[in-house]
Structure 1
Amino acid sequence: MPTSRPGGETRRQMLASMILVRAFENRLSKLVADKEDVLGMQILATGQEAASVASVQALTPEDVIVSNHRSHGHLLARNADIKAIMAEIMGKATGVNKGKSGTLHLIVPEVNALMTSTVVGAGPSMAAGAAFAQQYRGERAITAVFFGDGAAAEGNVHEAMNLAGVWKLPLLFICENNCWAGAQALKEHCAVGNIAVRASSYGMPGKLVDGNDADEVHSAVSELAEHCRSGKGPALLEAYTYRMRGHGEHDHQHYVDKEELELWAAKDPIRIYRARLVQEGLLTEEDVRVMERDASARVEEAVRFAAESPFPAPEAAVEDVWVQSPWAGR
């Protein structure tokens, strides 16, 4: 348990956001199972809601976030337009990226979610560029980049950490360690057992927290973000959590021991946080039910909006590109 907790209203907002993320991804899972409307691979973060939501809500709106292929929680916690996100996942022109990115490369500049890449380990290198720009302009804002335990083994991640350490960049590395890299368990690809211990190699503080405890994650991110913000350079947070579904909805987790799933199901971050806030008198059970009904209604409205939206026009394929196509407008 953290020594200092966020305020009551922040904690209520975190629970509401976690419930919304779970409802959104549960609905996506059903759409996939029913073979309705969604396009391409759907990669969810069920069970990781505390890590993503609490991290984002501990940052300021001016801070840049760089996400990865499990980005729904980060974006919804940043109050990105839920209808436009669903429309993007369905490949519609009303999506946040006009139907051109799909679920794996979502970016929402209006909420400072500037970059997302499904290339494993690519995010930290891009985030180093964003953090350098903030440092160069003398801004108070920082950049936070999210990546998984599998990505932590990629060379790009080590290079970005080293560069951030050398240049004292205002960059917070957040590893959402969900215990699985594709179908590889953590013990099969991580020599030292956790990621946070690597921080000292790059001259930055590192912290390991219970990624299923929203209060602990929020407090740790607040602390490390202030370190980055004060000009002391980068920091690394490892949020130890668990991926309750397969790598994607195509993956049925046949390689996972059922007892392991049962163990982590008992550590469900939403159930634990809900019980804590009710026990402390910050919410009633009826308040939580209202949150759940509101989340369900918002998700269903997003699905309706996306389903009724048009696909991009063929000519849109040559718009929003770096170089003007000679075929544009023909």
Structure 2
Amino acid sequence: MSTDITQPAPVPARTDAGSPAPELPDEVRLGLYETMVLSRTFEEAILREYHADKGPGFDIGKGLVPGEMHLSAGQEPVAAGVCAHLTRDDAVTATHRPHHFAVAHGVDLRKMTAEIFGRETGLGRGRGGHMHLFDPDTHFSCSGIIAEGYPPALGMAFAFKRRGTGGIAVAVTGEGAANQGAFHESLNLAALWKLPVVFVVEDNEWGISVARTASTAVTSNAQRAAGYGMPGERVEDNDVDAVYDAARRAVARARAGEGPSLIEVATLRMWGHFEGDAQGYRPGLADLPKLDPIPRYEARLREAGVLDDGAVSRIKEEASEKVESAVAFAKDSPVPDVADVMKYVFAEENR
């Protein structure tokens, strides 16, 4: 008896673009909005400081924040919806575009900003920068290597399972990384060992400058979950309420010992792959502001009576105060001493 594998397997519990958003309690939706606003406010400040002294022209090596910068504006619904179900005892491994997940998971804003500025008070004492944030207090990490976060998430999930802590791991990557070997190896092993992992794919349609349709054989990476015996779900339209609902199911399944799940979210990269990216490869740039998920969600919440002018003003002011305090802290912090260049490379014994 043969099995026809020419057609992709059906995706369990798929959320279609036409499905109505789930009705969530007002306090939940307000919290999602607050997280999204804080994340965007943080990145707008980083954008401002990053470009403030890159001229004349654009010198990537100049300024308070030298090097590359990858910002996640437009992808806030993914982090807000997923991390709303997590605690500080759960783990998150993010990508080279990590700030929205770091903010949503509760990484200390002051220490994170100091790390981005390369200061001694940063999460990694200024040695890692924005693509290599590491926070043991919240089990958060990220990497500039594509799909690198998936295998470490399995290690943390394995430890949580062995210790019986009830903790889970969330492994985040972009749609381009779903074609990497580490992605498939991780899904296979997580399913085989029934590990408490939620795999999240952020489909912003562009792997640097390559369109998803030009790089990926399937129309949705959620279809790939069935090949590893786990539920796969795709959330359309960058819908934070629907992300929250999908994550609720996946997190509950992981905590109950039922194994991993995969969620893919059709999201949006508002800005370039990196700062300085002219995006000549990308059509429709002028239409992007209309798709911004934050004002769209704000309009929905106003219509539902969850938000009014006073609440919006308060939330934005509080976010600005937190972010500007973090930026001031970073600027006032010392740069690492060049004499300590070899420190923190290897573990050091206290003698």
Detail structure 1 runs of 4+ shifted over 6 Å in the superposition: none
Shift of 1:101: 0.8
Match status 1:204 vs 2:230: yes
TM-score, normalised to structure 2's length? Answer: 0.88
Q: Distance in 2 between matches of 1:182 and 1:262?
A: 19
Q: Distance in 2 between matches of 1:217 and 1:2?
A: 12
For the Cα contact (< 8 Å) 2:88–2:106, is it kept in 1? no
The one of 33, 44, 58 equivalent to 2:51 is 33
Match status 1:138 vs 2:160: no
One-letter amino acid of the counterpart of residue 73, structure 1: H
One-letter amino acid of the counterpart of residue 22, structure 1: R
Structure 1 residue aligned with 2:186: 160
Q: How does 1:223-302 map to 2 (within 5 A)?
A: 223-257=249-283, 259=284, 261-302=285-326
Match status 1:16 vs 2:40: no
For the Cα contact (< 8 Å) 2:191–2:229, is it kept in 1? yes
1:165 is paired with a residue whose SS is helix
Match status 1:128 vs 2:146: no
For the Cα contact (< 8 Å) 2:21–2:239, is it kept in 1? no
Q: Which moved more, 1:56-65 or 1:234-243?
A: 56-65
For the Cα contact (< 8 Å) 1:212–1:268, is it kept in 2? no
Q: Distance in 1 between matches of 2:96 and 2:348?
A: 29
Q: Distance in 1 between matches of 2:313 and 2:74?
A: 19
1:150 is paired with a residue whose SS is helix
Q: Distance in 2 between matches of 1:81 and 1:125?
A: 25
Shift of 1:323: 4.2
Q: Which moved more, 1:180-189 or 1:33-42?
A: 33-42
Match status 1:57 vs 2:105: no
Shift of 1:4: 4.2
The one of 70, 73, 84 equivalent to 2:111 is 84
Q: Structure 2 regions of 5+ residues with no counterpart? A: 1-18, 54-62
One-letter amino acid of the counterpart of residue 31, structure 1: E
Deviations 1:65-95 (A, max 9, x none): 1111111111111222212111110000111
2:134 is paired with a residue whose SS is coil
Deviations 1:225-269 (A, max 9, x none): 111111111110001111111111021211111x2x344432221
Match status 1:308 vs 2:335: no
Match status 1:46 vs 2:73: yes
Q: Distance in 2 between matches of 1:203 and 1:308?
A: 51
Q: Distance in 1 between matches of 2:326 and 2:67?
A: 18
Structure 2 residue aligned with 1:69: 96
Q: Structure 1 regions of 5+ residues with no counterpart? A: none
Q: Which moved more, 1:209-218 or 1:122-131?
A: 209-218
Q: Distance in 2 between matches of 1:180 and 1:158?
A: 20
Shift of 1:137: 1.5
Q: Distance in 2 between matches of 1:241 and 1:196?
A: 14
TM-score, normalised to structure 1's length? Answer: 0.93
Structure 2 residue aligned with 1:317: 341
Q: Distance in 1 between matches of 2:344 and 2:25?
A: 42
Q: Distance in 2 between matches of 1:49 and 1:9?
A: 18
Q: Among the aligned pairs, what percent are the same residue?
A: 36
Shift of 1:3: 6.3
Q: Distance in 2 between matches of 1:11 and 1:112?
A: 25
Q: Distance in 2 between matches of 1:45 and 1:304?
A: 22
Shift of 1:221: 0.3
For the Cα contact (< 8 Å) 1:51–1:211, is it kept in 2? no
Calculate the aligned-residue CA RMSD, in Å. 1.9
1:10 is paired with a residue whose SS is helix
Match status 1:104 vs 2:131: yes
1:5–1:62 Cα change, 3 Å: farther
Q: Which moved more, 1:309-318 or 1:206-215?
A: 309-318
Q: Distance in 1 between matches of 2:346 and 2:24?
A: 43
Q: Distance in 2 between matches of 1:295 and 1:211?
A: 25
